[in-house]
Amino acid sequence: MKTLDTILRNDKPHWVGDGFPVRSLFSYHGDTSAISPFLLFDYAGPWNFEPATGHPRGVGEHPHKGFETVTIVYDGEVSHRDSAGGGGTIGAGEVQWMTAGSGVLHEEFHSPGYSKTGGPFRMVQLWVNLPAKDKLTPAKYQAITRDMIGEVSFEGGRARIIAGEFKGAEGPASTFTPINLWDVRLDANADISLPLPKGHTTMIAVLAGHVTIGGKGVGEAEIARLSSYGAGIAIKADGDSVLLIMTGEPIDEPVFGYGPFVMNTEAEIREAIAEFNSGKFGALASA
């Protein structure tokens, strides 16, 4: 079995634009080998937005290069638009998987409908690294709707498979390296054992509720980072809980990041900045 290495948390929230109250639970500014192939985990919410008129809340046009952003909505709605022609609106239970690759501009706002009604908001954005050979892949966008995500039930809960495989169900997301991303719901007092791949970086984010892993409690907005050795983990749900299970085969390459760019060397970062400044990332698609 895997063991609990550490619990990641952040008690200093910040705002991304005016639409995303975020706690960054890990990022590439720390030990990247411990989180590879993942780079950053922003937990936005829970928050309750009042109805608003005028321009929707969110974050305006900004660039990315060298990795992927995975946005998962639990409450509320998020609209996306990018310079590769991707775009759309996702609601609760849906996912936007954007490959920045060789460079892209995008924006993220509350949908016009959600802006008018307001209400609860909860979202995760996960950054996934690309291996060096794929960092210059053309930008693309995957809109993963609720009907595309298969669900597996087990005693004590259920799992929606966004990426990878669980109990024979395969997720719809296309990935560049082996990754599992499971949206797991556990019933109160559930005592389960999840199969997890040997050698994968493995993290369990608690988005609601409270669980016990390896004899230690893990609560809302905390991530249990597990050992890479072992092939499973026991979890006890202390109440109804929502978890995001993340596993990935580590990318054994240097990571050099600067803001919205993540490459392998400082020279590549300087090149990314020059490309952005010269307009090589294109322009946003029409609204």
Cβ contact 60:80 at 8 Å: no
- Could you say which residues of the chain have pLDDT below 50? none
Dump pLDDT digits (tens) for 195-223: 999 999 999 999 999 999 999 999 999 99
Residue 138's CATH number: 2.60.120.10
Encoding tokens for residue 219? 């609560």
Q: Phi and psi dihedrals of 176, rounded to 5?
A: -90, -25
- pLDDT at site 182: 98
Q: How are the residues of the chain apportioned to helix, strand and coil, as percentages rounded to the nearest 5?
A: 10, 55, 40
Q: Phi and psi dihedrals of 242, rounded to 5?
A: -120, 125
- pLDDT at site 287: 58
Q: Is residue 287 part of a domain?
A: no
* Tally of structural domains, the chain: 1
Q: Is residue 118 part of a domain?
A: yes
Q: Is residue 277 part of a domain?
A: no
Q: Is residue 176 part of a domain?
A: yes
- pLDDT at site 286: 66
Q: Is residue 258 part of a domain?
A: no
Q: Is residue 263 part of a domain?
A: no
Q: Is residue 259 part of a domain?
A: no
What Cα–Cα distance (Å) separates residue 125 from each residue in 42, 44, 56, 258?
5, 8, 19, 18
Dump pLDDT digits (tens) for 8-56: 999 999 999 999 999 999 999 999 999 999 999 999 999 999 999 999 9
The domain in which residue 65 lies consists of 4-248
